[in-house]
Structure 1
Amino acid sequence: MAPSGHLPDLESLALLVEVSHCGSIGAAARAVGVSQQAASERLAGVERQVGVALLQRGACGTRLTAAGTVVVEWASRLLQVAEEVDASLTALRAERDRELHLLASMTVAEHLLPRWLVAFRRSEEAARRTAPSVSLQATNSTGVLRGVAAGEADLGFVEGAERPAQLASAEVGQDELVLVVAPGDPLARRRTPLAPAQVAALALTSRERGSGTREVVEQALAAHGLTAAPAAVEVSTSAGVRETVRAGGAPAFLSRRAVEADLRTGALVQVRTSGLALTRTLRAVWVGSAQPPAGPVRDLLAVVARTP
């Protein structure tokens, strides 16, 4: 239940308590660091708000009325509780600054976060701050969104085509998906790009449902009125998908970041496609307002923004 309009703010109650301790408005004003005029005006406002006289002013100082004595007793208890709450909030902020819990989709966790976290630690050390301990759990994008919304992490990183509606977010980069096969696959010798219908007909090595990679591919095909063929096999990590294809498994869409070394060495071959929107946005997500929470979350995102 919300308090009535007769309850003064904590600063005004603290001033009233000081008057009871000091015996004069002037001394109480000095104790709380305001002018005597400001203190007098504030106390008069308290009396108007409460609706009863709390102070009896005289040439020899200021005394509490009977009602004022009762209000000061209540105010002292309230101020003590407020002090305890404030100390607890300070402890929570300190705990927040010592630990940073992250959830990230597989591509971000495997190929971007290691570099970001090294840069983050160096930035904290350069600022003469103790870097917080960081815990990271890798999962698919759906798992990241669910976990951050449930308070299991301070910050999450996802990839996908659309901005999540239930969380605050910020774009942190772009990622391109490419279709890759093993060198011995017949598609490795293809010279013309695959059309969307030809891609839809492929039985792919695929990530599980909820993966940002799978979501982007399905949405790219859906834009042409197409549905992907059933997967040849589903694998729960991008590294697992890559190794399956390298071993001669079915083709797969993977982040270019995940396969760039294999493409250079020839361990994998890119199969060109046409007409498919396969660029996805990488986003940071958190609970709360559009401004990232102060502390390690905001500091890490600042590092991410300037780290290529």
Structure 2
Amino acid sequence: MPLSPRVPDLRALDLLLSVARLGSLGRAAAEHGITQPAAGSRIRHLENLVGQPLIERSALGSRLTTEGALVADWAREVVGAANSLDAGLDALRTRTEGRIRLGASLTVSEYLAPHWLLALRARRPDAAISLRAVNSSEVARLVLEGEVDLGFLEGPELPDGLEARTIARDELVLVVGPGSTWARRRRAMTIEELLGVGLVAREPGSGTRHALEAALADQGRLAEPVVELSSMTAIKAAVEDGVGPAVLSSLAVAGEIALGRLRRIEVDGLQVRRELRAVWPSGRRHSPVLRDVLAVAVERSPDGDDEE
């Protein structure tokens, strides 16, 4: 069945994802090696196809609209599949034995992996590397079933049958939109207040959600989420628009907090620090390419574990 002419260009979808991650059309244009006017033209063409504005521009930068966050959520899987196809075709073209399949949680894939892949291309120009972005429980399944060679996940528990190495550390923080009543209070939130608030939450199976629920297990159960979303981009857009607060990775919200688009709220007695880990089947030895992947992940990540 031929594709509809309304299907957007992959480069435009990839650019939209970069805007969501970087919070700036100019920085996204630089990352893609094009001028800002060319990037603006590409986004406008995408908006014309969709029939909705996807980006809001201001003196603080660029943010995705609610519609833009939805499109980005759908586009992430499409762009990931295209990257996997490109890696496979590259392996066929070069007949390389360095084809590596990676699986990563959404936090890792959005905020850490892009830096790794750039460094890996410089270190291993002949390696064909594909990346699948899924939640942490799905990463574990893909590794155990041999569908990926190496996984990167969040969460306090390591499934049976896997070995792991810490590649980065972060913490979970509570954020609200700048117009929220919570943003105007001067004192920290209590655990009891947090338990009673409907959060904008990640889907079940997410490492972020599991880590928060585990940290609060002795305190009580969280209220039902006001909404569950499967991408950081969509969650941050919902929080900024006042749908509700969210507890997210500090890596994911650092840019928005710096720009004033999100406000961090302290919670007395809540400290959720966690390890982001590379995982592989127990007993398996790494190929030279996989060793390079691990080395780059540690070198290019905050608070990486330098021990082999």
Fold similarity call, TM over 0.5 = yes
> Residue 277 of structure 1: CA displacement?
2.9
Q: 2:250 pairs with 245, 252, 256, which one?
A: 256
Indicate whether 1:100 and 2:112 are aligned. no
Which structure 2 segments of 5+ residues have no match?
A: 1-93, 302-308
Which structure 1 segments of 5+ residues have no match?
A: 1-93, 125-129
Aligned residue for 2:236? 242
Q: Structure 2 vs 1, CA of residues 275 and 131 (structure 1 numbering), >3 Å: closer, same or farther? A: farther
Aligned residue for 1:171? 166
> Residue 306 of structure 1: CA displacement?
2.1
Indicate whether 1:266 and 2:252 are aligned. no
> Residue 98 of structure 1: CA displacement?
2.6
What is the letter of the counterpart of residue 248 of structure 2? L
Q: How many residues align?
A: 208
In the TM superposition, 1:102-251 aligns within 5 A as 102-124=102-124, 130-224=125-219, 226-251=220-245
Q: Structure 2 vs 1, CA of residues 232 and 302 (structure 1 numbering), >3 Å: closer, same or farther? A: same
* Offset from partner CA, 1:43-85 (integer Å, 9 cap, x none): xxxxxxxxxxxxxxxxxxxxxxxxxxxxxxxxxxxxxxxxxxx
> Residue 237 of structure 1: CA displacement?
1.0
Is the contact made by 2:161 and 2:282 (CA closer than 8 Å) also made in structure 1? no
What is the letter of the counterpart of residue 115 of structure 1? H
> Residue 191 of structure 1: CA displacement?
1.4
Backbone CA RMSD of aligned residues = 1.7
Aligned residue for 1:295? 288
Distance 2:232 2:97 in 1: 32
* Offset from partner CA, 1:122-151 (integer Å, 9 cap, x none): 222xxxxx4311111111100100111111
Is the contact made by 2:96 and 2:126 (CA closer than 8 Å) also made in structure 1? no
Q: Structure 2 vs 1, CA of residues 104 and 208 (structure 1 numbering), >3 Å: closer, same or farther? A: same
User: What secondary structure sits across from 1:118 in the alignment?
Assistant: helix
> Residue 271 of structure 1: CA displacement?
0.9
Is the contact made by 1:159 and 1:280 (CA closer than 8 Å) also made in structure 2? yes
Q: Percent identity?
A: 40
Q: Structure 2 vs 1, CA of residues 95 and 280 (structure 1 numbering), >3 Å: closer, same or farther? A: farther
Aligned residue for 2:272? 278
> Residue 196 of structure 1: CA displacement?
1.3
Is the contact made by 1:97 and 1:295 (CA closer than 8 Å) also made in structure 2? no
Distance 2:100 2:210 in 1: 28
Distance 2:201 2:229 in 1: 6
> Residue 95 of structure 1: CA displacement?
7.3
Distance 1:150 1:207 in 2: 24
> Residue 104 of structure 1: CA displacement?
0.4
Is the contact made by 1:286 and 1:292 (CA closer than 8 Å) also made in structure 2? no
Aligned residue for 2:39? none
What is the letter of the counterpart of residue 97 of structure 2? D
TM-score (norm 2): 0.64
User: What secondary structure sits across from 2:97 in the alignment?
Assistant: helix
Distance 2:159 2:126 in 1: 29
Distance 1:219 1:274 in 2: 17
Aligned residue for 1:60? none
Distance 1:101 1:255 in 2: 25
User: What secondary structure sits across from 2:167 in the alignment?
Assistant: strand
In the TM superposition, 1:81-96 aligns within 5 A as none
